[in-house]
Amino acid sequence: MKTVVVGLSGGVDSSVSALLLKRLGYNVIGLFMKNWEEEGQCKAAEDYEDVVKVSTKLGIPHYSVNFTKEYRETVFQDFLVSYKAGYTPNPDILCNREIKFKVFLEKALELGADYLATGHYCQRDPDGRLLRGEDPTKDQSYFLHAVSQKALQKVLFPIGDKRKSEVRKMAKEQGLATAEKKDSTGICFIGKRAFKPFLEDYLQPQPGPFETLDGTVVGTHDGIQFYTIGQRKGMKLGGEGDAWYVVDKDVPRNAVIVVRGANHPALFSDWLRASHFTWIAETPLLPLRCTAKVRYRQEDTPCTLLESGEVLFDKPQRAVTPGQSIVFYEGKLCLGGAIIRSPRLVGSSLFSCIAKSSRRFAAD
């Protein structure tokens, strides 16, 4: 009998994953992972109570591991460095690569498991290549694009071929404590708190100017790390006309560049440069025609990836954000991805001040 350690998070997806594996005849062990410690701010204790309830209901043993030290050193510190540099990072992607499918996987194998299973909505083929989840509204391959094929060969995704509605239905039918539990959103170490006050505890904010494309100062921002490309809310900029949107951040001058209108040309990019490429299996031959996402839950767009690390989009993309990930696909197959560094705006010759400030990312 094969042994599977299921990463139980206290949510419905991992709970049903354990249920399905037990039905298939695996020896199932539940393992809860704690990544953050801060008095009264993370709901880990509540989640663990649900893990205990589900494990008891299913009749499986359960354990807890603490990776807070590893998380701070490999994920959270990178998160802070990126924000300080003016980027908008995605710590969930780094957490998957360095914590869930590395140290957590290693712990599962140490316990004698043949596989680690998680409640992610994605799939893999027999060779360990990553495939999209069957539910297009929940597919999480975007967040796992940096996990290696070697690691994925030891991973099972029991609900990857199911839709969320099916998963909740199974949980209700089996009377699992997590059946009606809301999906977790955001980053665990932020919890239910507002993002801005949390970040202020770690990065000293430095107010600076909101500027238009021609350099006109239209207000004062609270700190460059609090703003991201495409942002509309929270800037306290008024006046007659369309709403203001962030289109760039000039870190050396501590300036946030804004425009009016949700469809302003400065919000669109037809090209970007990326770095830190990771490929799940072998590196593809370049140039490569494929599709890509520049954010989660976005529809794929056809593009061409060049040997220089540049990506040319067939259709301009809105609010391409330095620090976020671009993820590449061939049909259902997730090839890998990279970190966005410097997007080029549509008609960028008209916006020389933006092009100048964006060049800072290309040097990284």
> Both 45 and 168 in a single domain?
yes
Q: How does pLDDT run along the chain (364 residues), one tens digit per residue?
A: 999 999 999 999 999 999 999 999 999 999 999 988 765 555 788 899 999 999 999 999 999 999 999 999 999 999 999 999 999 999 999 999 999 999 999 999 999 999 999 999 999 999 999 999 999 999 999 999 999 999 999 999 999 999 999 999 999 999 999 999 988 766 666 666 678 888 888 999 899 999 999 999 999 999 999 999 999 999 999 888 899 999 999 999 999 999 999 999 999 999 999 999 999 999 999 999 999 999 998 999 999 999 999 999 999 999 999 999 999 999 999 999 999 998 886 654 444 444 444 434 434 4
Q: Is residue 219 part of a domain?
A: yes
> Both 155 and 66 in a single domain?
yes
> Both 156 and 221 in a single domain?
no
Q: Which residues are catalytic?
A: 95, 188
Q: Is residue 183 part of a domain?
A: no
pLDDT tens column, 41-60: 557 888 999 999 999 999 99
pTM tops 0.85 = yes
> Both 142 and 23 in a single domain?
yes
> Both 91 and 14 in a single domain?
yes
> Both 233 and 351 in a single domain?
no
> Both 81 and 143 in a single domain?
yes
Indicate the number of domains in the chain. Answer: 3
φ, ψ for residue 22, nearest 5 deg = -65, -40
Q: What is the pLDDT of residue 193?
A: 62
Q: What is the pLDDT of residue 352?
A: 41
Residue where one domain finishes, among candidates 209, 240, 260: 260
> Both 20 and 155 in a single domain?
yes
Q: Is residue 188 part of a domain?
A: no
> Both 26 and 154 in a single domain?
yes
Residue where one domain finishes, among candidates 260, 280, 300: 260
Domain that holds residue 238: 195-260
> Both 93 and 224 in a single domain?
no
Q: Is residue 277 part of a domain?
A: yes
- CATH code, domain with 219: 2.30.30.280
Q: What is the pLDDT of residue 351?
A: 42
Q: Is residue 181 part of a domain?
A: no
pLDDT tens column, 296-325: 989 999 999 999 999 999 999 999 999 999
> Both 253 and 270 in a single domain?
no
Q: What is the pLDDT of residue 358?
A: 41
Q: Which residues of 30-56 are buried (b: 16+ CB within 10 A; e: fewer)?
A: bbbbbbbeeeeebebeebbebbbbbbe
Q: Is residue 211 part of a domain?
A: yes
- CATH code, domain with 81: 3.40.50.620
Residue where one domain finishes, among candidates 138, 173, 208: 173
Q: What is the pLDDT of residue 2?
A: 96
Tell me how far CA of residue 314 lies from CA of 269, 271, 287, 299, in angstroms.
Answer: 11, 9, 14, 13
> Both 217 and 131 in a single domain?
no
- CATH code, domain with 335: 2.40.30.10
Q: Is residue 132 part of a domain?
A: yes
Q: Is residue 180 part of a domain?
A: no
